[in-house]
């Protein structure tokens, strides 16, 4: 009898003891609407964030180039917020208008939904206004919202 095993990359075994705590960051799926809140979602920045169900397939269909799906999480220290966008979730118009030159310009703050703030234990309840760096991480664009990282 021959036994074969397969290794799945990125999967780590959990310890057998009971007191195991999970250290991976929590990700919330959301829909991000671009624009400025005071100008009815026109202009630059992030106008609104809507939390979506993890199994909601309707959010995966792009119906407009004014919004995109994203993952919402916290910074490593838990003090700030992070939005992760896959490049293929962003239309070319959003890339040119909001993600150019490695900076996301937000003239006004954007409120964070209460459910996300509570579940992640965020100390902030809105994404701050300012210029925020866009970091490229493979297929993802990462935007951190933390006063210490603003330019």
- 59-116 pLDDT, tens per residue? 445 556 888 999 999 988 777 899 999 998 898 888 888 888 899 999 999 999 998 9
* In 1-151, alpha helices (H): 92-98, 114-120
Mean pLDDT confidence for 138-147: 88
Tokens of 55: 């199994």
Mean pLDDT confidence for 117-134: 90
Split at pLDDT 50, 70, 90, the class of 12 is very low
Residue 22's pLDDT is: 53
Residue 144's pLDDT is: 92
Residue 133's pLDDT is: 93
Residues 104 and 131 sit within 8 Å (Cβ to Cβ): yes
Question: If we measure between CA atoms, which residue out of 26, 87, 24, 88 comes closest to residue 54?
Answer: 26
Residue 63's pLDDT is: 54
Q: Which residues pair with 51 in a beta bridge?
A: 30
Least confident of 22-26, 37-41, 128-132: 22-26
Residues 54-77 as b or e (16 or more Cβ within 10 Å = b): eeeeebeeeeeebbbbbbbbbbee
Residues 131 and 105 sit within 8 Å (Cβ to Cβ): yes
Split at pLDDT 50, 70, 90, the class of 40 is confident
Residue 146's pLDDT is: 78
Strands (E), 1-151: 28-36, 42-51, 67-74, 81-86, 103-106, 110-111, 126-127, 130-137, 140-145
Mean pLDDT confidence for 43-59: 76
Residues 93 and 114 sit within 8 Å (Cβ to Cβ): no
* pTM attached to this predicted model: 0.75
């Amino acid at each position: 009898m021959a036994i074969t095993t397969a290794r799945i990359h990125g999967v780590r075994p959990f310890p057998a003891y009971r007191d195991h705590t999970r250290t991976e960051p929590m990700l919330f799926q959301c829909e991000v609407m671009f624009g400025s809140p005071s100008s009815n979602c026109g202009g630059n920045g992030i106008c609104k964030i809507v939390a979506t169900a993890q199994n909601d397939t309707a959010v995966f269909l792009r119906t407009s180039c004014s919004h995109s799906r994203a993952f919402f999480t916290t910074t490593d220290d838990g003090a700030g917020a992070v939005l992760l966008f896959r490049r293929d979730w962003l239309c070319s118009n959003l890339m040119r208008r909001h993600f150019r030159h490695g900076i996301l310009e937000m003239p006004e703050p954007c409120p964070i939904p209460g459910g996300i703030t509570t579940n992640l234990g965020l100390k902030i309840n809105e994404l701050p206004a300012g210029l925020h760096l866009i970091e490229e991480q493979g297929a993802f664009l990462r935007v951190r919202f933390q006063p210490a990282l603003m330019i």
